[in-house]
Amino acid sequence: MMKALRQEAAKLLQEKRAALIIGFAEREGHPALFISKPEDCERLFYDVSCRQNLAAYLSKPEVSARRPVAIVASLAALRSLVVLTAESQAAPGQVLALAVDKDAFLGTFDVAGAAELLRSKYPDLGPEKALLERVGELSKKSVVERAAFWAEEFAKCTRCYACRAACPGCYCARCIVEKNAPQWVSTAALGHGNYSWNIMRAFHQSGRCTLCGACEAACPQGLPLMVLNAALDREALEEFGARPGYDPEGKPVIGSWSAEDDHSYMR
């Protein structure tokens, strides 16, 4: 798998189908690796411990200026690429994916090809069983108990925004938490501000999150962010049929409306 990945990456650079390859380095933590020379592709590495979602780099001005770009993409990152394309954040023809799945190199795909691969071979990607079990256990608690659980977890948050930096879906040039005229969310790493930030972040990703786990992996406080993400993923699927990352022309749940939506909550 590694040999095929490295050879294909070098070929993309040699044929000028990509000006930049973004992958993982074979070092502790497997940081992102930016390669522009074919001979440097021997430094590429990938295994299941590579937790970053490299699609998060596509919105960076430094990367946009180097397009066309190819990223080493897990299945979740492939879905993120499709979501970014649907939201006009990744231009077709400017981004390629070196698709990987566990210990297999799947090939090079443009956005349309990535979507077709996902639909044909991985049509039912969703939260892992263990994660759904955690969501189920929490859902059995009362509203008051759930609120207390999250209040206790969010109290640990230092507002470093590592979760935001790791998420491909957080591409706003200026986040609402950085606005102070008016200040919608307190910037202090305390009670209400922490609660508001974490709930708002998860809500903005509902129906868009591809469950890559990069946010939780980046969190220095070990917050169980994926439990919240998975719960909202199930809600978006059950209520709106949302399955993000399969249609490059699909509309996100947040920001779209359909006459077929359930309106029974209205009184």
Give the helix, strand, coil percentages of the chain, each rounded to 5: 45, 10, 45
Kindly indicate the confidence band of residue 18, based on its pLDDT and cuts at 50, 70 and 90: very high
Confidence of residue 178 (pLDDT cuts 50, 70, 90): confident
Q: What percentage of the chain carries pLDDT values higher than 70?
A: 100
Mean pLDDT of 133-143: 95
Residue range 181-200, pLDDT digits in tens: 787 788 788 888 899 999 99
∠ CA 147-240-118, rounded to 5°? 105
pLDDT at 90: 85
pTM for the full model?
0.91
Q: Report pLDDT digits (tens) over 68-104.
A: 999 999 999 999 999 999 999 988 789 999 999 998 9
Q: Which of 72-86, 152-166, 238-252 has the lowest mean pLDDT?
A: 238-252
Over residues 111-132, mean pLDDT: 95
pLDDT attached to residue 257: 79
Check residue 253 and give its pLDDT.
84
Other CB atoms within a 10 A radius of the CB of residue 30 amount to 17
Give the pLDDT confidence score for residue 94 in this predicted structure.
Answer: 93
Domain extents in the chain: 2-121, 132-240
How high is the mean pLDDT of the chain? 93
Between 175 and 224, where is the model more confident? 224
pLDDT tens-digit series, residues 198-240 = 999 999 999 999 999 999 999 999 999 999 999 999 999 998 8
Q: How many CB atoms lie within 10 A of CB 20?
A: 19
Cβ contact 129:137 at 8 Å: no
**H helix runs in the chain, sequence order:** 2-14, 61-64, 75-86, 111-121, 129-139, 143-154, 162-166, 191-205, 214-218, 225-240
User: At residue 46, does pLDDT exceed 90?
Assistant: yes
| Alpha carbons 237 and 251: distance in angstroms, whole number | 14
